[in-house]
Amino acid sequence: MFCIDNMQIGGTELNAVRTAERLDRTRFDLSVICLQRDGPLMARYEAAGIPVISLALKNLYGLNAVRQGFRLATLLRQRRVDIFHAHDFYSNIFGSTWARLAGTPVVIASRRWWAWPPRRAHRILNRIASRFADRVLANSRAISEMLAATEGFPPKQVVVIPNFVDDQSVTALTAQERAALLRGLGVPPDARVIGTVANLSPIKDHVTLLRAVALLTPSWPDLHVVLVGEGPCRPTLEDWVCRLDLGGRVHFAGSRDNGPQLHQLFDVSVLCSLSEGFPNTLIEAMAQGVPVVATDVGGTRDAVVNGTTGLLVPASDPTRLAAAVDSLLSDPTRRRAMSVAGQRYVRDRFRADSVIGSLEALYTSLVGQCRA
């Protein structure tokens, strides 16, 4: 049984549904608990024939939380669940705790983020719940090392299983398809294009990208920017476009089903995050032969080999970001070399069959230990 907070489009949520779609259904009978049912990813679970049960959790405390906890415990016992796998912060705290109380043989928590939410109580609760899990899955080596160094988790309890590239997201666009997509966004056919595929949220710091673009436009008058994604920061970003006099250069593409594929619209793909557990968007870009520039935060270094598959720069530094982008736009030979190296790196480390195989092996091993 998977447990996840919501069905919205985000890194953790997409990784969960992609994993669910690829698990060997002859060996694993999967169901999913969702703490907030509504969201576009529900359709993917339904299409895969995976039952999703909503618990409609309003808070982590109170009578409703206790009522839903007993409901979860009952479901775990009725379905004779062998493995309970929590995928995010809230499902760690709520789901792992009740799964352990229900006597579920194997309980797995996850750590897929770097920065903590503002409430100290949540941090403490997550640490306690995760300590009671049999394993904590980290999606990057950096996260694993941080758990050992700052959270005190024993190394044997933490297992690194990275994100993987969705094969469907790396299908090549034809020249005609690329041209049509750019035309639909209002990008001139002869423009140089940089962009990002990421939710428009504060942690992604799109403002730094816009400020870098303002520094680049004197040297690159044909430069345009495409922002793929949606989120609460869009009005703020639109204000920054006006403030920086970038009108006509910045194109908001919104949230799209083919979002990962849209890296192919870019000459350089950029990610300006202030914090990252493991940035799936970067390995998607590299898998499609697009060189990347990203901020050196959290688990980004596990995805990008600086100077080989992409360039890393400090967070919140538009000058350094602009210089890195400029260096790639100015050197087509270097861009091509990074494209080849990035594709090879992703193929060697982040193939879906390899990552899913590692996860299935972990499941089987833990259940075997319980039955021994």
Give the up-direction half-sphere exposure of residue 93: CA atoms within 13 A in the CB hemisphere: 17
Domain boundaries, the chain: 2-164+352-371, 167-349
- Give dist(CA 8, CA 318) in Å, integer: 30
List residues bridging with 2 in a β-sheet: 32, 85
pLDDT class for 118, splitting at 50, 70, 90?
low
Average pLDDT over residues 159-177: 88
Which three-class secondary structure state does DSSP give residue 204? helix
φ, ψ of residue 301 to 5 degrees: the values are -65, -20
Q: Element (H or E) spanning 241, and its range?
A: helix 234-243
Average pLDDT over residues 185-208: 96
Q: Residue 117 pLDDT more than 80? A: no
pLDDT class for 243, splitting at 50, 70, 90?
very high
Output the CATH code of domain 2-164+352-371. Answer: 3.40.50.2000
- pLDDT tens, 288-300? 999 999 999 999 9
What's the confidence (pLDDT) of residue 254? 95
- pLDDT tens, 41-75? 999 999 999 999 999 888 888 888 999 999 999 99
Q: Residue 204 pLDDT more than 70? A: yes
Residues 6+ apart with CB under 8 A from 122: 60, 89, 93, 116
The first and second tokens of residue 283, run together, are 């390995």
What's the confidence (pLDDT) of residue 162? 94
Q: Residue 275 pLDDT more than 70? A: yes
| Torsion 312-316-322-323 (CA) sign | negative
Burial 83-116, CB ≥16 within 10 A → b, else e: bbbbbbbbbbbbbbbbbbebebbbbbbbbbbbee
The first and second tokens of residue 361, run together, are 């092996």
What's the confidence (pLDDT) of residue 289? 94
Q: Residue 3 pLDDT more than 90? A: yes
Q: Residue 111 pLDDT more than 70? A: yes
pLDDT class for 372, splitting at 50, 70, 90?
low
Average pLDDT over residues 24-41: 92
pLDDT class for 140, splitting at 50, 70, 90?
very high
Same fold for the pair 2-164+352-371 and 167-349: yes
Percent of the chain with pLDDT over 90: 83
Asked which of 117-121, 222-226, 264-268, 345-349 is least confident by mean pLDDT, the reply is 117-121
Query: Which amino acid makes up residue 344?
Result: R
Q: Which of 161, 87, 159, 167 is nearest to 352 (CA)?
A: 167
Q: What is the dihedral of CA 220, 226, 227, 228, to 10 degrees?
A: -150
Report domain 167-349's class. Answer: alpha beta
Q: What is the pTM of this model?
A: 0.89
- Give dist(CA 120, CA 123) in Å, integer: 5
The sheet carrying 52-54 orders its strands as 52-54, 32-34, 2-4, 83-86, 106-111, 135-138, 158-160
List residues bridging with 197 in a β-sheet: 228
What's the confidence (pLDDT) of residue 94? 95
Which three-class secondary structure state does DSSP give residue 96? helix
The first and second tokens of residue 192, run together, are 């140089």
Q: Which of 182, 343, 347 is nearest to 262 (CA)?
A: 182
What's the confidence (pLDDT) of residue 209? 98
What's the confidence (pLDDT) of residue 116? 67
pLDDT class for 178, splitting at 50, 70, 90?
very high
What's the confidence (pLDDT) of residue 120? 79
Q: Which residue has the tokens 């549904």?
A: 17
What's the confidence (pLDDT) of residue 115? 76
- pLDDT tens, 301-342? 999 999 999 999 999 999 999 999 999 999 999 999 999 999
**N-to-C CA span, the chain:** 22
Q: What is the DSSP letter of 331?
A: -
Q: Which residue has the tokens 């710091």?
A: 205
Q: Residue 359 pLDDT more than 70? A: yes
List residues bridging with 293 in a β-sheet: 270, 311
Query: Which amino acid makes up residue 198?
Result: A
Mean predicted lDDT score pLDDT of the chain: 94
Q: Residue 150 pLDDT more than 80? A: yes
Beta-strand pair 135-138/2-4? unpaired
What's the confidence (pLDDT) of residue 290? 96
Q: Which residue has the tokens 């996840």?
A: 4
CB 349: neighbour CB atoms within 10 A? 15
Contacts 24+ apart (CB under 8 A), 25-32: 27/360, 27/364, 28/360, 28/363, 30/1, 30/2, 31/1, 31/2, 31/79, 31/81, 32/1, 32/2, 32/3, 32/4
Percent of the chain with pLDDT over 70: 98
pLDDT class for 134, splitting at 50, 70, 90?
very high
- Give dist(CA 111, CA 64) in Å, integer: 26
- Give dist(CA 302, CA 287) in Å, integer: 15
What region does 307 belong to: left with phi over 0, alpha with psi -120 to 50, or beta? left
Average pLDDT over residues 89-107: 95
